[in-house]
Amino acid sequence: MGLFNELMSRLVNRVAAIGAAAASAALLAYFREQFAEGLKWLVSPIIRRLPWHREALAHSPQHGLSSNLTIADLFLLTTDGKRAVYAKAGDYVVGSEPLSSYFEGVTTSGDARNFATEMGVILETKTEHGFHVSEIDLGALLPAGTHFHNEYRAELYDSFTSEEEHWTQEIALPTKHFTLRVHFPKKRPPILLRCKRLVGLAEYQMKTSVRTATLFGRPSVMWEIKEPQLGEIYKLEWRW
């Protein structure tokens, strides 16, 4: 009986040791995964601005698509900056390969919801650390050389709540002409404007003419860029 008890005691200790080792391994794997995700979150804004990242974007499959004209509108709906609408309209040309879907996206420091497309349907919108990317199914296989127009929209929340704010726009497709327009509330027009170009981790102020006008019954800012470079990021800053 004593021998049996000793064997059982050893077996229990062995099982406990194996269980502890398995739990430790699982816990270590979990923390490794969390650390990797945390590191990815920290460096993702920097990675997007590195030259080789933009080069990779330029060779993605949807870059058989190009745009003759793209207009990005940002409507600041409330004076506290908590509600806004982003709308991007483009006159597109299908490249050398037929196209049935493409991607649109928006970046915001707050929340983005209610993504919509004028043409086709949104299959999926993936969201990660402020980046929202929607895959748009055009509803048909468009032959090479096809011209089409589409508008992509998203509602933005809690994104422009500071006295000094900005909007950045990346040229993700070969584009002949790009216009960025920001529409302010009547009771809170812009006081100061700055135009910048982001190169890697550096920001360069651009000598360019930004026009102000009244559009849609609102004080608006228009920044026109002819022949923007693929992969470049343009930044409009304002104080309001």
28 plus 101 within the same structural domain? no
37 plus 104 within the same structural domain? no
- What whole-number distance in Å separates Cα of residue 88 and Cα of residue 150? 8
What is this structure's pTM? 0.72
Residues 6+ apart with CB under 8 A from 27: none
150 plus 76 within the same structural domain? yes
Q: What is the DSSP pairing of strand 121-128 with strand 131-142?
A: antiparallel
Q: Is 151 exposed, middle or buried (0-12, 13-18, 19+ CB in 10 A)?
A: middle
- The DSSP code for 113 is E
183 within 8 A of 75, measured Cβ to Cβ: yes
33 within 8 A of 140, measured Cβ to Cβ: no
Other residues' Cβ atoms within 10 Å of the Cβ of residue 3? 7
Q: What is the DSSP pairing of strand 83-93 with strand 147-157?
A: antiparallel
Give residue-wise pLDDT tens across range 145-161.
999 999 999 999 999 99
pLDDT category, 58, cuts 50, 70, 90?
very low
pLDDT at 9: 61
64 plus 42 within the same structural domain? no
Q: How many domains does the chain have?
A: 2
pLDDT at 39: 40
Give residue-wise pLDDT tens across range 81-97.
999 999 999 999 999 89
Of the residues 30, 47, 64, which one is the last residue of a structural domain? 47
139 plus 158 within the same structural domain? yes
157 within 8 A of 232, measured Cβ to Cβ: no
Q: What is the CATH number of the domain that holds 221?
A: 2.60.40
95 plus 115 within the same structural domain? yes
pLDDT at 19: 54
Given a cut of 80, whether residue 4 has pLDDT beyond it is no
Of residues 14 and 201, the one with the higher pLDDT is 201
85 plus 42 within the same structural domain? no
76 plus 25 within the same structural domain? no
92 within 8 A of 145, measured Cβ to Cβ: no
pLDDT at 48: 41
186 within 8 A of 218, measured Cβ to Cβ: yes
136 plus 27 within the same structural domain? no
Lowest model confidence (mean pLDDT) among 12-21, 102-111, 152-161, 220-229:
12-21
84 plus 117 within the same structural domain? yes
20 plus 72 within the same structural domain? no
Give residue-wise pLDDT tens across range 5-42.
554 565 456 545 555 554 454 444 544 555 444 444 34
pLDDT at 46: 42
Given a cut of 80, whether residue 105 has pLDDT beyond it is yes
Which helix (H) or strand (E) segment holds residue 226: the answer is strand 218-226
* Residue where the block lists tokens 């992969």: 231
Other residues' Cβ atoms within 10 Å of the Cβ of residue 66? 16
What 3-state class would DSSP assign to 168? strand
Of residues 159 and 50, the one with the higher pLDDT is 159
14 plus 63 within the same structural domain? no
Say how many Å lie between the first and final Cα of the chain, rounded.
86
The domain of 162 spans 55-239
Given a cut of 80, whether residue 180 has pLDDT beyond it is yes
